[in-house]
Amino acid sequence: METRPRNLPADERRAVTVESVVALAGTRNPSEITTAAIAKHMNLTQGALFRHFPNKEAIWQAVMEWVSERLLSRIDRAAKGIESPLAAMEAMFMSHIEFVTGHPGVPRMMFGELQRAESTPAKRVVQTLIQRYGERLDRLLERGKTSGELSPSLDNEAAATLFIGTIQGLVMQALLAGDVERMRRDAPRAFAIYRRGIGSTR
Amino acid sequence: METRPRNLPADERRAVTVESVVALAGTRNPSEITTAAIAKHMNLTQGALFRHFPNKEAIWQAVMEWVSERLLSRIDRAAKGIESPLAAMEAMFMSHIEFVTGHPGVPRMMFGELQRAESTPAKRVVQTLIQRYGERLDRLLERGKTSGELSPSLDNEAAATLFIGTIQGLVMQALLAGDVERMRRDAPRAFAIYRRGIGSTR
DNA sequence: TAAGATAGTAATCGATTACTATCTTATGCG
DNA sequence: CGCATAAGATAGTAATCGATTACTATCTTA
């Protein structure tokens, strides 16, 4: 919550807007986040938002771009320098969970965006994010096969789907229980089963 | 889509309403399903809906109860009479996917309901559904341990989360691609990895 | 320090929402 | 057949939504 309502440069104001939306999504249904609510959270009038964004859809697009950049750079940083592909995947998994724990509104927004029927700009951003995520997983899975850590007959596409699905499942259970911290506890346990499912028979 | 706008008994009209909502959720975002859209789909005026439901929330509750009954009875039927716990779980998995394929609006509605912050009646129905689902899985997992099909050190809670999460992941990928049929193709491949993750080492 | 550019305010717009009051018609039962 | 009543149509309501407007405050810079 901002306090002083001073004038900000346009790009800073846009950044504050995005952060406000992310924060609001943590406590309420994204479809219920109105421009008035965003403005109030920023100590700004509702109309002023449209000085920086042409319409509400553009706000959502900016938010999803923010999420994409932060999430991808975070999992890249987590996997960086780790020799073992399986260990790298585990590091990605955990850092993803950490990211979501720190920003509980993010999965809410992504689920909300993905279930739109129309192809909005924001939805396309999310689609690109998941595609890039999948590419990173595919590379790791391939490396794991050649290194012998993973089962050589592994179905990469299914394994990538399951990786992301596992995270989604954890998030859903957390949303159900209204307890984000639960994810931190359950994540290693869920990944252990996943790891067993894709690993080579020892 | 109904054609003749004849008068229906109240309970039949309620049933038609529920089916209309399920159908509409297959093509649009649940939060965008207005009472006007529901009425139009039924060839009815908007106000007439409130002869049969006290408010919109009651419609959602009725829809989620419909989903709960149909889904639970379907997975129960699928698992019935199957001796092997693992095979029973696979049958549950596939019948769940079949259910979702036949009613693509269902996961959309459930995601939409679960991410609400407030505890609406409809959300509580979904919570009960997932709880019952989890109990069924837990029983099967226990049976699998004693029968030797499953790893005796298996983490039941994590395994149940992963089971549901796997389905959610498949649904999400399908929503992304806008292709529900894809689930049928990917489901056996995803379950194969899951099965390997929970099965006993042979 | 004058002047243009940028950022924000307050009021209001038309459209849409869930919901309701009143009138009309269909249906089933004695 | 007659008629009570359940079901639906019509025509509203108040509230809220995103977006736009005319105007003002603040910042930057020549």
Taking the C1' atom of every nucleotide in all shown strands and the CA of A32, the nearest one is D17
pLDDT given at position A3: 34
Judged against a pLDDT cut of 80, whether residue B10 lies above it is answered with no
Residue A145: both structure tokens together = 């096969």
Q: How confident is the model at residue B202 (pLDDT cuts 50, 70, 90)?
A: low
pLDDT given at position A2: 35
Contact B132, B125 (CB under 8 A): no
Closest alpha carbon within chain A to B29: A116
Residues B80-131 pLDDT 10s: 999 999 999 999 999 999 999 999 999 989 888 888 888 899 999 999 999 9
Render chain A in DSSP notation, one character per residue: ---S-----HHHHHHHHHHHHHHHHTTS-GGG--HHHHHHHTT--GGGGGGT-SSHHHHHHHHHHHHHHHHHHHHHHHHTT--SHHHHHHHHHHHHHHHHHH-THHHHHHHHHHT-SS--HHHHHHHHHHHHHHHHHHHHHHHHHHHTSB-TT--HHHHHHHHHHHHHHHHHHHHHHT-THHHHHHHHHHHHHHHHHHBPP-
pLDDT given at position B89: 98
C-alpha separations of B186 from A3, A138, B51, B189 in Å: 50, 16, 44, 5
**pLDDT tens over chain A, length 202 residues:** 333 346 777 788 899 999 999 999 998 989 899 999 999 999 999 999 999 999 999 999 999 999 999 999 999 999 999 999 999 999 999 999 999 999 999 998 988 888 888 889 999 999 999 999 999 999 999 999 999 999 999 999 999 999 998 998 898 888 877 888 999 999 999 999 999 999 998 6
Q: Is the minimum CB–CB distance between B128 and chain A shorter than 8 Å?
A: no
pLDDT given at position A119: 87
Report the distance separating Cα A188 and Cα A180, nearest Å.
Answer: 15
pLDDT given at position A21: 96
Judged against a pLDDT cut of 70, whether residue B170 lies above it is answered with yes
Closest by CA position to A38, among listed A54, A59, A61:
A59
Contact A122, A63 (CB under 8 A): yes
Judged against a pLDDT cut of 60, whether residue B5 lies above it is answered with no
Residue A99: both structure tokens together = 């990211």
- Please measure the distance between the N-terminal and C-terminal CA atoms of chain A and give it in whole angstroms: 53
HSE (side-chain half, CA atoms, 13 Å) at B174: 24
Neighbour-count burial of A19, counting CB atoms closer than 10 A to its CB (0-12 exposed, 13-18 middle, 19+ buried): middle
pLDDT given at position A129: 96
pLDDT given at position A176: 77
Judged against a pLDDT cut of 80, whether residue B65 lies above it is answered with yes
C-alpha triplet A142, A76, A110: angle, nearest 5° = 100
pTM above 0.95, yes or no: no
Percent of chain B's residues with pLDDT above 70: 97
pLDDT given at position B24: 95
Q: What is the signed CA dihedral for A107, A112, A118, A120, rounded to 10 degrees?
A: -50
Nearest Cβ partner of B111 from A28, A111, A164?
A111
Q: Average model confidence (pLDDT) for chain B?
A: 92
Handedness of CA A44, A45, A50, A51 (dihedral sign): negative
C-alpha separations of A160 from A14, A80, A163, B4 in Å: 34, 19, 5, 48
Mean pLDDT for B25-43 is 93
Handedness of CA A7, A9, A13, A16 (dihedral sign): negative
Report the distance separating Cα B96 and Cα B90, nearest Å.
Answer: 10
Backbone φ, ψ for residue A156 (5° rounding): -55, -45
Report the distance separating Cα B57 and Cα B54, nearest Å.
Answer: 8
Mean pLDDT for B12-27 is 93
Taking the C1' atom of every nucleotide in all shown strands and the CA of A5, the nearest one is C8
HSE (side-chain half, CA atoms, 13 Å) at B180: 16
pLDDT given at position A6: 60
Distance in Å from C25's C1' to B8's CA comes to 13
Distance in Å from D6's C1' to A1's CA comes to 54
The least confident of A111-125, B41-55, B156-170 is: A111-125
Residue A17: both structure tokens together = 């807007």
AA letter at B174: A
Interface test with B, best of A141, A164, A193 (most B CBs within 10 A): A193
Query: Within 10 A of A77 (CB to CB), how many other CB atoms are there?
Result: 12
Closest by CA position to B19, among listed B44, B37, B42:
B42
A10 touches strand C (CB under 7 A): yes
